[in-house]
């Protein structure tokens, strides 16, 4: 029985010492955790105050080993959602949405993060006229960046009407006129 209590006591001491620093909410949740190695881990809320005419904001999301991971949401200080960004390996990855301070969608972006642990990456190349047809693979040097990869769509935040589209493949704007919407084209007003 004494051995069991001693093991339980040692286990409770190791559990209480897993965070170097953290913030406790009113509900008892731990936020802004820093592990014993000095790396940010778990759920975080980052507050940026107004500075030199730039509006302040708050963003919330998760850190994994000191890198942003998953969905991060950004809110104005008034509580309006102004961005929803997705991260992988601490870089933008996937679909990003940006809103005006009045709530209207301004633009939608698509990014591709590259694994910083890999020196080179293999990327599939698809036919511009038939996006389901794979042409081949290309090996690219990995510089640990996020690249524009996919359709960037711009909207009028008040009316929600589509203003323009751009298509990027590995950070290069596609300028093939035969592909509909491949380059930034203003949409005709009717």
Q: Which is nearest to 73 in space by CA: 56, 60, 55, 64?
A: 60
Longest dimension (CA), the chain: 82
What's the structural domain count of the chain?
2
On whether both 159 and 68 belong to a single domain, the answer is: no
What is the average pLDDT score of the chain?
Answer: 84
Range in 14-23, 98-107, 180-189 with the lowest mean pLDDT? 180-189
pTM of the model: 0.74
User: Which residue among 75, 95, 121 closes a domain?
Assistant: 75
Reported as a pLDDT band with limits 50, 70 and 90, residue 179 is: very low
Complete DSSP assignment for 18-73: SEEEEEE-TTS-EEEEEETTS-EEEEEEEEE--BTTBPPEEEEEEEETTEEEEEEE
Domain containing 52 equals 21-75
Q: What is the dihedral of CA 97, 101, 104, 107, to 10 degrees?
A: -30
Classify residue 38: in a domain, yes or no.
yes
Task: Give yes or no for a contact between 173 and 190, defined as CB atoms under 8 angstroms apart.
Answer: no
Look at residue 12 in the predicted model and tell me its pLDDT. Answer: 47
Same domain assignment for residues 131 and 38 = no
Q: Is the pLDDT confidence value at 40 over 80?
A: yes
CA angle at residue 71 from 154 to 68, to 5 degrees? 110
Tell me whether residue 51 is in a domain. yes
Beta strand residue intervals within 49-133, DSSP E: 57-64, 67-76, 81-88, 91-92, 94-99, 105-113, 120-126
The per-residue pLDDT for range 105-144, each reduced to its tens digit, is: 999 999 999 888 888 877 788 887 787 888 888 887 877 7
User: Phi/psi of residue 9, each to 5°?
Assistant: -65, -45
Q: Are residues 65 and 90 in the same domain?
A: no
pLDDT above 70 for 177:
no
| Domain contains 151 | yes
For residue 41, pLDDT over 90 is answered with: yes
> 69-81: per-residue pLDDT in tens?
999 999 999 999 9
């Amino acid at each position: 029985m004494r051995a069991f209590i001693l093991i339980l006591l040692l286990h409770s001491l190791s559990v209480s010492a897993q965070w170097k620093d953290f913030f406790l909410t009113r509900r008892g949740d731990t936020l802004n955790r820093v592990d014993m190695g000095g790396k940010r881990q778990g759920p975080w809320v980052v507050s940026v105050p107004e500075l030199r005419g730039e509006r302040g904001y708050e963003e919330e999301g998760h850190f994994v080993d000191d890198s942003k991971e998953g969905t991060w949401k950004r809110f104005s200080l008034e509580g309006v959602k102004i961005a929803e960004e997705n991260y992988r390996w601490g870089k933008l990855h996937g679909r990003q949405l940006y809103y005006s301070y009045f709530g209207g969608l301004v633009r939608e972006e698509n990014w591709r993060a590259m694994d910083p642990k890999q020196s080179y990456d293999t990327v599939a190349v698809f036919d511009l006229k038939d996006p389901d047809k794979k042409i081949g693979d290309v090996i690219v040097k990995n510089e640990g960046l996020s690249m524009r990869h996919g359709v960037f769509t711009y909207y009028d935040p008040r009316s929600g009407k589509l203003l323009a589209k751009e298509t990027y493949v590995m950070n290069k704007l596609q300028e093939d006129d035969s592909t509909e919407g491949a380059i930034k084209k203003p949409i005709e007003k009717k």
